[in-house]
Amino acid sequence: MASVIENVPTDYLIAVNSDWLQHMKRDVLEPIAARGLAHPVLADIRSGRLPREKFARMMANLQWVITGFPEYVAALAAGCPKNDHVVKAALLENAYIERDHPFLLAQAVNALGGPGDAILEGPDWVSFEPDSYIHMLRIVVEGYVFHRPWVEGMAATAVGVETVTPAVFGSLGKAAVEHYGLSEEDAEWFRIHGGEVEMEHGNDGLRVLDKYVRADDINTQRACTAGARLVSEAIGVGIFGLPAGKPRVSPYGAHPHQRRAVAQGDARLQPARTGPGPGRYPDPQLVWSWKLRLGHRADPVRHGAPERTVPNRAAHAGSGRRARQRAPVLRHQAAGR
C-alpha cells in the first residue's frame, strides 16, 4: 500500500515517469527523508539540546565516509557508457564539485571541536576511529561503486545519498550557527547541501535510472531500489542512532614510529592550520606537510595525485551556483629530494 506523507520535505525531486521509480520516490525516498527530519537527534540539534561533542562525533563519522566521494563519483563517471556524453559530463562535473566538500565538512567538524583536519589528512585508520556502523556504511557504498553494476552504483549513491541529503542535512546549518557557535563560513557545508545544486544531483540520478533501466527488467529495478533504500536509510536516519561519544583520534598506526608519535603527542603529526585559534580551516597547500616533516619522500603530484585546489567559497555562493574560479596549489617537494 502506498504511503502518504504530508508536507513532503523532498518536493525538490522531479516527477518521474516509470512506475517503479514512482514507487521508489513515494514509498522509499520520501518516507526516509520525513523520518530523518523527525528524528529526535535532529530535533535536539535544531533546538541546541544535543551536546556539542555528540554533534561533533556524528559529523566526524559522516566526514570519514564523504571524504571519499570525489573518488566515488569519478569512478561512476568512468563506468558511464562511453557514448553517453551528457551523463558522463555531468558526473565528471559533479566529481569536480565534490572535491571541495571534504574540506568544507572538515571545517565544520573542526569548529565543533572534532578531528576534521585529522580525518581529512589521514591515513584513514590512523587519523580516526569510526563507529562500526559508519565503517559498514562506507564498505557498502564502495561495494556498490566499485563492484556492483554501474546502474546499481548510481542508484545507491546519486539517488540513495543525493536525494535525501538536502532535506535532512540542509536543515542543520541554521542550528549550527545559532546554537553551536559556528560562523556562517564554518557552516557552509550545511548550506551547500541544502541548496539547489545538491538537489539537482539527486534528480540527475533519477533521470539516469529512468533512462537505463528497462520497464520489463524487474530484477534490475528491485536491485536499484534495494541499493537506494539501504544507503538513503543509513544516511538519512541510521547515522543519527549512532552511539555518539567524544571525538577521538585513533591511537593506532601501521608503523611503530607513527604509533609512538601519536602516543607521545608528537607536534609533527599536528595538522597545519590557517587563521587564529584552534580548529581553523586547513590550508590545502599544506595538506601533505606533516608527511614531509616526518621525512616521507612524498610528492602528491609526482606520485599521480592531481594538483590540489583551494576550495573556493565564492564558487558556492548564492542558491548553490558555483563560479568556476580555480586557485592552483604550489607543488611541494620532499626535503633532500
User: Among 99-103, 209-213, 221-225, 249-253, where is mean pLDDT lowest?
Assistant: 249-253
Q: Considering the chain, what percentage of its residues have pLDDT values greater than 90?
A: 56
For residues 156 and 228, is the Cβ–Cβ distance under 8 A? yes
Give me the count of residues in the chain: 337
Where along the chain do its domains lie? 19-241, 256-316
Q: In this model, does residue 153 exceed pLDDT 90?
A: yes
Give the type of residue at 258. Q
Task: Return the residue matching grid coordinates 598506526.
Answer: 253
Dist. CA 170–CA 259, nearest whole Å? 38
Return the pLDDT at 66. 92
Fold entry, domain 19-241: Heme Oxygenase; Chain A (1.20.910)
Q: pLDDT digit string (tens) for 53-67?
A: 999 999 999 999 999
Q: Residue 243 pLDDT > 60, yes or no?
A: no
Residue 182, pLDDT score: 96
pLDDT in the model for residue 242: 57
Angle (nearest 5°) at CA 17 between 12 and 20: 100
**Residue 279 buriedness (CB in 10 A; 0-12 / 13-18 / 19+):** buried
Average pLDDT for the chain: 76
Mean pLDDT value of segment 243-262: 40
> DSSP states of 175-198 as a string?
HHHHHH---TTTTHHHHHHTSHHH
**SS3 label, residue 309:** strand
Mean pLDDT lowest among 3-17, 58-72, 176-190, 192-206: 3-17
Query: Of 5, 4, 26, which is closest to residue 16 (Cα–Cα)?
Result: 26
pLDDT(245) > 90: no
Kindly report the number of other CB atoms within 10 A of residue 244's CB atom: 21
pLDDT at residue number 301: 37
Question: What is the structure's pLDDT at 286?
Answer: 34
Model confidence band, residue 224 (pLDDT cutoffs 50, 70, 90):
very high
Residue 4 has pLDDT above 90, yes or no: no
The residue assigned the cell 537527534 is 41
| Residues linked to residue 309 through DSSP beta bridges, in sequence order | 328
Asked if residue 322 has pLDDT above 90, the reply is no
pLDDT score for 15: 87
